[in-house]
Structure 1
């Protein structure tokens, strides 16, 4: 169990601690010693380290859990729900074509570094991202920019998508106008992403002085994103320290916040990769909450008086295949054989919380656009062997990557899930070579670059639109999958530019059928992840998007 530095010091040197108290000195976490009613530090345990303090360089939930407390986007989601509401923009609207977006901005908003928020600040951010060069154009670094806005002012790689972003104009101090070349189903939802949250223009000028770099699949992120002091947002908390040795990020209430002030002064996010250790830390009082509760622990914790709310189902877990990493996967029969080899019912039954479901397409049934009519791939080892023989791949060998030091909402116990799938594949005669990698940044970078024959990954929706799922992966060439199929790409993109709701939903349903006929990977499951809080905690509203706002939390 990980314990705080101050607790460790007291346990080892009790006599010294007594002397310190006698002379009026206090530990660095003195607030932990206060009674519940006086506590001013809330400690929350996640399963993995954040990758960056700059959310625009991230694509993972562990990073966004931290940065969401300090950075705000133009649009946000209602507390505990998926409906979009005003963020840094009070109101927003678009022209009929969906290519010109006008934002009426909040007034009297300040950044953590004292800079004023205004339309010029908004445009400074969007133009900064649009003009990224070098390693910043890697999909592993600028994933969300490329997903929402396409490429850059000058693309440096022929595989980078064409830019859809056109311009940002400060019409006046409190009105920003963002123009795109073509309408997109990713808008206005994309404006709500924490990856496109607004930074201080002063901080951006410092960002520009530093470069990201890459060596093979390994990304070296700029120094400013790896230590507190430079990044500055407008959120209710400001980031004050990233202690990588203790795997802790510390935040402090921003008293100049424009909205309702945080109820607790200090917020600490601590990494505890093992779920059992997270539970024990909560029960011991070392932390005040943790995410991704093991299904078997939910009732136990509830019976002991802890709060264990469950989020709505808004995610998908899948096995990805890279056709470039392993050419054998280019054969449809091989991909089908892998799908028939995985006992998804068993995975859901033994590994997921109550309410988990087997997935038969690349979006959960809670998303509009889900199709009731897609090709099915039932667990059938005999059929898998026949397909491998037909493809001439009876001795198929695959490298199968899986992440360590992490638990995700769609993936409660990665190694356990991997071992079960490995056994399933081997029953069909497939030789599996395990490749374990640390979640951030190694695993995320490797999967984004298509370096793994097979990998396990998932997605929690950013906003409620079918394109946010299937469009995320299959709207064009993506190194993660390594295939080019115009029929798939056209089907997925068909709904992205349709303005009428019913037409768009019908297009998504058709696209799901086309994707599952092609079978670029294997959708496995969807699940409702649980989150736990201490007995003395009034928790924040839990979000199906896993977008909890911890400024809502308080101690009883």
Structure 2
């Protein structure tokens, strides 16, 4: 089996991180309250979600609340071993690259069926890869964020934002052998094959419910019947319903699952946007778990018998800067971007707003990722220097439109309003006027900042999908994007070269050099690395916390 490509130092670090996390939730103190779920094997678990899902076709998704659900419905060819960032078989029993890295051969599990009865075989694998590559329509392509970041482009690019495609073709050599051919080697593989966007979906259902139909009207996107009502995979659970009025997504046990047979009969995700309301629902027994509890609540929750599992930092929070936004001409000046960086008191923010174990981010790659280097330009808090840089740039009367999300809690951003307040007050103190814009996470926020670039500044972040620096900096800055609004061919080429560099030390060193360039150019400002937690009730057993927030519920019981 192929393993993650790590330098010796980072491999040791990640092994330690993996070991620290590979702990199942076990029996705890009995709760005096009555649980609203069945006991032992079977029964129902209700999990409190921070927001509505976007849709259920993972190729068009790029946000965590949706992936939490689709991970239970679909399998990928390769997956991460629970509690770690290591690779293990899933629908593929083994995988092997050619010597030049341009061909990947997958030996598939045999006798597997999708939950609609369609056979999972090499032809189904090739159908999925070819579907992504041949996707038509600018609207559909624009929503395939992970595909564009990993595979570069399509058979026919319908936007100049995309590059030459990495993918070339797929061959079903026999029912149990799929061969994926690439136009060029990519250092992110095989780890990138674990991405939930690249889940295997039923060709029958994709065709029947016209999955590729994506339309755009103004700033809004409309997805197919498949994406909203009929997702079909091989995972431990299958989709039952999405009651948008009640804010409930119901999954049931997939009796035909070949890889991860569920113990629960039903798994319900109940949307509760307010974090305090989620906490009260857990205490009352209305739900049996939720993600990203407020750091200040860890002790209280544990004292009341809840199980709080803290994941080590595998993420980054950043302040996005849009060089093509309303104040883009000023923000194109690196002195202005440097002034913003010097003007933010990140040390104080981390100490006052984030949980124990959080750290100030000095670059866009966490310390546990291969390719991190401490040898980058740093921007310590210095208000006088910030004001001086603004004066030198002729930007002492600067007004910035600052977007931040509502109805969401992210691993790197426990309370977006608190983050916005802290950073905006710092920027006001160096003479910048702030125009706040708050929008719901799945109600226009991400489209406004990532698709349409309406902002000057915005809050976003990233939880790593796999242990490769390209999953961070390549995703952010690997090509021209409306989110950041800059065009830097030299940086794009450096990232492309690092992505294609040989495995091991050379790969890590290439990304270290790129990280230096990024922190000199400063297209955005890294704020912090945060250790998020997940909390479940005392009667929940079998959940394994993941550094990738890749929790799967097939092992869970409630009794």
In 2: Cα distance, 1:188 partner to 1:358 partner: 30
In 2: Cα distance, 1:38 partner to 1:175 partner: 35
Partner of 1:445: 447
What SS does structure 1 have at the residue aligned with 2:79?
A: strand
Q: CA deviation at 1:441?
A: 4.6
Q: 1:40 to 1:377 in 2, by over 3 A?
A: same
- Of 360-369 and 209-218, deviating more is 209-218
Partner of 2:538: 535
In the alignment, structure 1 residue 185 sits paired with structure 2 residue 187 = yes
Specify which of 108, 132, 135 is matched with residue 132 of structure 1: 135
Deviations 1:137-193 (A, max 9, x none): 443x11011111111111112222221110011010010011110111221122111
Deviations 1:34-57 (A, max 9, x none): 664587110011212110111111
Contact 2:41 2:263 in 1 (8 A): no
In 2: Cα distance, 1:82 partner to 1:518 partner: 30
In 1: Cα distance, 2:255 partner to 2:483 partner: 43
In the alignment, structure 1 residue 304 sits paired with structure 2 residue 307 = no
Q: 1:59 to 1:33 in 2, by over 3 A?
A: closer
In 1: Cα distance, 2:340 partner to 2:225 partner: 42
Partner of 1:283: 283
What SS does structure 2 have at the residue aligned with 1:69?
A: helix
In 2: Cα distance, 1:471 partner to 1:33 partner: 44
> Which runs of structure 2 are paired with 1:506-545 in the superposition (5 Å)?
506-545=509-548
In the alignment, structure 1 residue 90 sits paired with structure 2 residue 79 = no
Partner of 2:265: 265
Q: 1:178 to 1:341 in 2, by over 3 A?
A: same
Contact 1:100 1:179 in 2 (8 A): yes
Structure with bigger RCO (C-alpha 8 Å, 6+ apart): 2
Aligned residues: 523
- Of 433-442 and 84-93, deviating more is 433-442
Deviations 1:108-127 (A, max 9, x none): 11101111100000111111
Q: CA deviation at 1:207?
A: 4.4
In the alignment, structure 1 residue 76 sits paired with structure 2 residue 91 = no
Partner of 2:413: 411
Deviations 1:419-472 (A, max 9, x none): 111111111111111111110151111221222111100000010011111111
In 1: Cα distance, 2:383 partner to 2:218 partner: 37
Partner of 2:18: none
Q: CA deviation at 1:210?
A: 5.6
In the alignment, structure 1 residue 480 sits paired with structure 2 residue 483 = yes
In 2: Cα distance, 1:333 partner to 1:370 partner: 25
Q: 1:222 to 1:80 in 2, by over 3 A?
A: same
Q: CA deviation at 1:487?
A: 2.8
> Which runs of structure 2 are paired with 1:10-29 in the superposition (5 Å)?
none
Q: CA deviation at 1:33?
A: 5.6
Partner of 1:553: 556
Indicate the RMSD between aligned Cα atoms, in angstroms.
Answer: 1.6
What SS does structure 1 have at the residue aligned with 2:246?
A: coil
Deviations 1:290-309 (A, max 9, x none): 00011011111111111111
What SS does structure 1 have at the residue aligned with 2:424?
A: helix
Contact 2:55 2:61 in 1 (8 A): yes
In 2: Cα distance, 1:38 partner to 1:284 partner: 23
> Which runs of structure 2 are paired with 1:414-433 in the superposition (5 Å)?
414-433=416-435
In 2: Cα distance, 1:61 partner to 1:183 partner: 28
> Which runs of structure 2 are paired with 1:99-498 in the superposition (5 Å)?
99-139=102-142, 141-208=143-210, 211-226=213-228, 228=229, 230-325=230-325, 326-449=328-451, 450-498=453-501
Gaps spanning 5+ residues in structure 2: where? 1-33
Q: 1:93 to 1:136 in 2, by over 3 A?
A: farther
Q: CA deviation at 1:409?
A: 0.2
In 2: Cα distance, 1:274 partner to 1:201 partner: 38
In 1: Cα distance, 2:513 partner to 2:437 partner: 35
In 2: Cα distance, 1:211 partner to 1:68 partner: 22
Contact 2:316 2:461 in 1 (8 A): yes
What SS does structure 2 have at the residue aligned with 1:399?
A: strand
What SS does structure 2 have at the residue aligned with 1:515?
A: helix
Q: CA deviation at 1:206?
A: 2.5
Contact 2:336 2:393 in 1 (8 A): yes
In 2: Cα distance, 1:277 partner to 1:398 partner: 33
Q: CA deviation at 1:385?
A: 1.0
In the alignment, structure 1 residue 62 sits paired with structure 2 residue 58 = no
In 2: Cα distance, 1:457 partner to 1:441 partner: 15
TM-score (norm 2): 0.91
In 2: Cα distance, 1:388 partner to 1:233 partner: 53
In 2: Cα distance, 1:116 partner to 1:54 partner: 19
Contact 1:363 1:466 in 2 (8 A): yes
- Of 85-94 and 489-498, deviating more is 489-498
Q: 1:405 to 1:518 in 2, by over 3 A?
A: same
Q: 1:217 to 1:162 in 2, by over 3 A?
A: farther
In 1: Cα distance, 2:550 partner to 2:37 partner: 29
In 2: Cα distance, 1:340 partner to 1:393 partner: 15
In 2: Cα distance, 1:508 partner to 1:255 partner: 44
In 1: Cα distance, 2:514 partner to 2:362 partner: 13
